[in-house]
Amino acid sequence: MAKKEFKAESKRLLEMMVNSIYSQKEIFLRELISNASDAIDKMYYKALTDDAVAFHQDDFYIRVQTDEEARTLTIEDTGIGMTEEELEQNLGTIAESGSLAFKKETETEDGRDIIGQFGVGFYSAFMVADRVVVETKSLDSDQAYRWESDGVEGYTITPGNKSETGTTITIYLKQDEEDNEDDFSQFLREQRLKTIIKKYSDFIRYPILLTVTKEEPAGDDSEETTTVQEEETVNSMVPIWRKDKSELTDEDYTNFYHEKHYGFDQPLKHIHINVDGTIRYSSILYIPETTPFDYYSKEFEKGLELYSSGVLIMEKCPDLLPDYFSFVKGMVDSEDLSLNISREILQQDRQLNMIAKNIKSKVKKELQNMLKKDRENYEKFYESFGRQLKFGVYNDFGQHKDDLKDLLLFYSSSEKKLVSLAEYVERMPEEQEYIYYASGESIERIDQLPQAELVKDKGYEMLYFTEEVDEFAIKMMREYEGKEFKSVSSGDLGLESEEEKKENEEAATEYKELFEKMKGQLDGKVKDVRLSSRLKSHPVCLTAEGEVTIEMEKILAQMPENQGVQADKVLEINHQHDVFASLKQAHENNDEATLQLYTNLLYNQARLIEGLSVEDPVAFTNDVCRIMK
Ligand code: ADP
Ligand code: MG
């Protein structure tokens, strides 16, 4: 029988498992039991919805058995089984959920942390096994199959002789290391297995049967005992969401999160909901700590597991979560949902919509609570998912902005940390009209912006917009509690005193002709050349008039569907700066060539400061050489 090779990624993953020195090898059992439970879920669903499948409640179980002599551990389930193609697909290639995340992020040697962080699925069996045999018979096939592998070398699939639908996995445990004789043999001991199952798989809804050896009195008056073997159900079987919150510990919730592969991190918060009114449902929701690797990509699918009276009917129901809360993981169980409901009908289902609305407000409330009472964790959350909230403000024409505005945080110039808009407004001095912000690629970069100087100098707090979406989101909001947002780079900042205003107006009139000339020399590159009232120690800056700012222009230019949207740029000149004297001089001397040289230099400087490129680098360097000569 020719061996087939594993697909490249699978091989890499397997290698890591085989050589694993990860200390919590026990999680392999959680993985196999979880797979068994998933397979029974599918079978159970079939049985309930397909009249052709006869069943009895006792038919659904997972059985764990050991054979000390053979050094094997078997996990048997009465699930849906696998066809030959499915065996090939599912166990020859790792393509699903946890493993996919794994594949992209695993370039470390021993996999020590990674195994703990990620769900590792079926292959985790190779942490403890040097050979694994899977015997399976699919509900859809009369023929059983046997998959066998002793590691990275490959696997074989041959016809098998399993008679009942379901899957049995036999693990041939590795030999113990010389200095640790319990390394693998521990998985042959009943008590140890019992502990592991209780720890990770207690809430599995089907009985996990384990054969345990018991000592019983031999009878009559004798002190003797006999050994009997008895099969017992190890897990409590009550789904965690049916339990009372007071009975559950944080660890229970975290274990469930991992068992379900909702995420591989430690969730920041869990929300356990039991509603019993016009709508009835139970739900356990999690706010993860870290961003899934594909979160901000098209591949990411949001959704919650959906159960109807304890039966899983959909693995990822997207309609339960708004896009801006797509990071939420977890499940919903409701008795009001029909088992046979189709995806299309579900969307219009009134019950489901009510549940979704309810979930939305619970999540919002929880996040607001976290922001208020658990700032540290909220900031962790915000670091991972804040961007999504801002997209939420911007998307759908801003219709969710009121739900989200109080969840936003921005870095503040005066506090030197993230602040909410409410905190900003609360601190505003009475005479301050606007909420000031500056956009740029980083805090350091923004701090160097000439136009940011004056606002900070006047003692006003300024928010740093360093993410692409920031300015778009804020444009959608327009104001917060009646206070308008104002970019330090656009329009009138409202910072001048009456006196300064008058002085500036006079200067503007005085130099009108000079600015007109410069504008002409720039030949349509700017909409205007103007006397600046926002500059302090710098000679020039580039600002924008109208809706599109320079930052927005930069971002739009990177988009594939870019339509060449341009900001209306204004070159602002600081008439109190030393170089202004040179400009004036050239103008008074009617020295067109020199004025052109200065204008070009100042314009390009302003572009560079804004993070725009110089339009003609050769001409620019020639200009610099000319003034050096
Ligand atoms: P995941 O469970 O995240 O999909 P695994 O590596 O744990 O990834 O399992 C891979 C796939 O193999 C499963 O998706 C399932 O289709 C199949 N599988 C594993 N164990 C069983 C089983 N006991 N019964 C039926 N199918 C199984
Ligand atoms: Mg799995």
Q: Are residues 476 and 522 both part of a single domain? A: no
CB under 6 Å to ligand 1: residues?
31, 35-36, 39, 77, 79, 81-82, 90-91, 96-99, 121-122, 167, 261
* pLDDT, tens only, 530-579: 999 888 889 999 999 888 889 888 888 888 877 788 899 999 999 999 99
pLDDT tens string 456-514: 888 899 999 999 999 999 999 999 999 999 999 887 788 888 888 899 899 999 999 99
Gap between the Cα atoms of 94 and 395, Å rounded: 35
Q: Kindly state whether residue 590 falls inside one of the protein's structural domains.
A: yes
**Does residue 403 form part of some domain?**
no
Q: Which of 233, 259, 292 is the last residue of a domain?
A: 233
Give the residue with greater pLDDT, 14 vs 587. Answer: 587
- The ligand that comes nearest to the alpha carbon of residue 96 is 1
Q: Please tell me whether residues 136 and 192 are part of one structural domain.
A: yes
Same domain, residue pair 473 and 415: yes
Contact 303, 318 (CB under 8 A): yes
Kindly give the distance from the C-alpha atom of residue 41 to the centroid of ligand 1, in angstroms, as a whole number: 12
Mean pLDDT of 224-250: 91
Closest approach atom of ligand 1 to CA 98: 3
Residues 39, 176 within the same domain: yes
Provide the CATH number for the domain around residue 596. Answer: 1.20.120.790
For 556, phi and psi rounded to 5 degrees?
Answer: -65, -35
Starting from the CA of residue 89, give the closest ligand.
Answer: 1
* pLDDT tier, 210 (very low <50, low <70, confident <90, very high otherwise): very high
Instruction: Please provide the DSSP assignment of 563-578 as one string.
Output: -----EEEEEE-TTSH
What tens digit of pLDDT does each residue of 192-202 get? 999 999 888 88
The answer to whether residues 171 and 31 belong to one domain is: yes
**DSSP symbol at 187:** G
CA atoms within 13 A on the CB side of 428: 21
**Number of domains observed in the structure of the chain:** 4
Cβ burial of 476 (10 Å; 0-12, 13-18, 19+) is middle
Choose the weakest-confidence range: 102-111, 332-341, 350-359.
Answer: 102-111
| 48 domain-assigned | yes
Which domain, by its residues, includes 548? Answer: 498-628
Q: What residue owns the CA closest to ligand 1's atom 8?
A: 121
pLDDT tens digits along 340-358: 777 777 778 889 999 999 9
Q: Quick one: 70 and 191 in the same domain?
A: yes
Domain membership of residue 4 (yes or no) is no
Residues 483 and 513 in one domain: no
Among protein residues, the one with the nearest Cα to ligand 1's atom 17 is 90
Candidate of 38, 46, 91, 167 to mutate for ligand 1, largest count of ligand atoms within 8 Å of Cβ: 38
CA-closest residue to ligand 1 atom 13: 90
- The preferred substitution site among 74, 90, 93 for testing ligand 1, maximizing ligand atoms within 8 Å of CB, is 90
| Distant-in-sequence, close-in-space partners of 288: CB < 8 Å, separation ≥ 6 | 262, 263, 265, 267, 268, 327, 329, 384
The verdict on residue 576 lying in a domain is yes
Residue 134 belongs to domain with CATH number: 3.30.565.10
Nearest CA among 76, 30, 35, 38 for reference residue 311: 38
- Of 455, 487, 519, the last residue of a domain is 487
225 lies in the same domain as 300: no
